[in-house]
Amino acid sequence: MYSKTFKLLILFVFLFGATTMSRAQDDTVSKPSRLTIGGYGEAVYNYNFYSDNVFRYSHADRYTENKGYGRVDLPHAVIMLGYDFGHGWSVGTEVEFEHGGIEAAVEKETEETGEFEQEIERGGEVALEQFWVQKSFSPRLNLRMGHIVVPVGMTNNNHTPDQFFTVYRPEGENTIMPCTWHETGISLWGRAANWRYEVQLLPGLNSNLFNESGWVHNGSASPYEFRPANSLATAVRVDWTGIPNLRLSLSGYAGNSFSNDIVTEIYSETSRYYGAKGTVLIGAFDFAYRNRWLTVRGNMDYGYLSDAGLISSRNKNQTTMTGNPYPHAPVGERAWDASLEAGIDLFALAEWRTGVRRLFLFGRYDHYDSFVPANGWTDIEWAERQVLAAGINYYPLPQIAVKAEAGVRLLKAQYNNEPYAAVGITWCGFFKH
């Protein structure tokens, strides 16, 4: 009798344990992961049907018959990691390899008496674009601290390759502003109903790095192991999604840039640079509309730089000693950009049963000017450009796109127009493990 009872007890324990383990496994599977892994990348071939000679604007007549040149490129390859520690605390990182990263090596040269030489085998950049810690108090209030993306303009806030149709990032914003713009600072953001807001405190840009072809594009860079922060700046963004399928956004930036470098020069009252601040003001509007078969996106950006004439004079007269990292170039008092792109999903329009596949036919127009001169400075007319482009985006899966594009960059009559063609394959995915 005891033996039979014991066997029944063993069987009960076994069945209870198996059921408990099964439930535990189900709970483990159904419980959301705290680790987020993702990324995106692009591989591109493009052919430019114009000369890349540095004198193609100053002596345009010499380069009218140039056959052009081809290039392969890896514009971006990005790894993104995030973790939710619980109790409202989380972290996020984004490491980006631009144009293939950097391949550097030290080699021993047998042809040169056996000396060691350092060589750069492949150009490119490696950038830590995001590295932050966040405390979430509620959906309406979140505090993010560390290295963050500055959400000014359309592209900085929407820079993954599934958020624009062109093979490369949109040209206008990518020319006149840092892109992707990332700084070490503090961000306060939140969502409520149909609104999202963000306010950031950041280091100001560095006017020594401004130039005529990119306005303040290089101003967030630093050739040093740290980022000078003698001046602080503010960035803001507000998004509204009160109409289905539509997003409207306003963003802006304000901060001083003069002497925001490793050497803070103090000028006497008799100096022409006394009191110069180099205040950078940027205002931007962008929107996106998307339904089942149509996607339309557009933006307008306007930037102003105070003391642009003084900054141009100072930059052009900087020391030319070996190793000086500055461009010695003038900078415009103003810069602006406007763009519009639209794409039609031919599969959805034709109501073909294609599952997740999509085929967009798109067109895009950009018009921008990176150099509107200050008083007394001559205009650089090749800095104003219009870009017309058209092409296709084929999505065999939502995370993968094959892109093809043909376009032309239109300059003023005294210069040669710049036609091009490009193809690329991209991916963008975010996973939880």
Instruction: Read off φ and ψ for residue 154, nearest 5 degrees.
Output: -75, -45
Single-letter amino acid code for the residue at 335:
A
Contact 192, 140 (CB under 8 A): yes
What CATH architecture applies to the domain 145-432? Beta Barrel (2.40)
Domain ranges of the chain: 145-432
Residue matched to tokens 């000369």: 51
Distance between CA 233 and CA 279 in Å, rounded? 10
pLDDT digits (tens), the chain, 433 positions: 445 544 443 443 334 344 434 443 343 344 567 899 999 999 999 999 999 998 999 999 999 988 899 999 999 999 999 999 999 999 999 999 888 777 665 555 544 455 655 556 666 778 889 999 999 999 999 999 999 999 999 999 999 999 999 999 999 999 999 999 999 999 999 999 999 999 999 999 999 999 999 999 999 988 888 888 999 999 999 999 999 999 999 999 999 999 888 876 666 677 788 888 999 999 999 999 999 999 999 999 999 999 999 999 988 887 665 567 788 889 999 999 999 999 999 999 887 766 789 999 999 999 999 999 999 899 999 999 999 999 999 999 999 999 999 999 999 999 999 999 999 999 999 876 5
Q: Exposed/middle/buried for 194, CB within 10 Å: 0-12, 13-18, 19+? A: exposed
The sign one gets for the Cα dihedral 371, 172, 130, 103 is negative
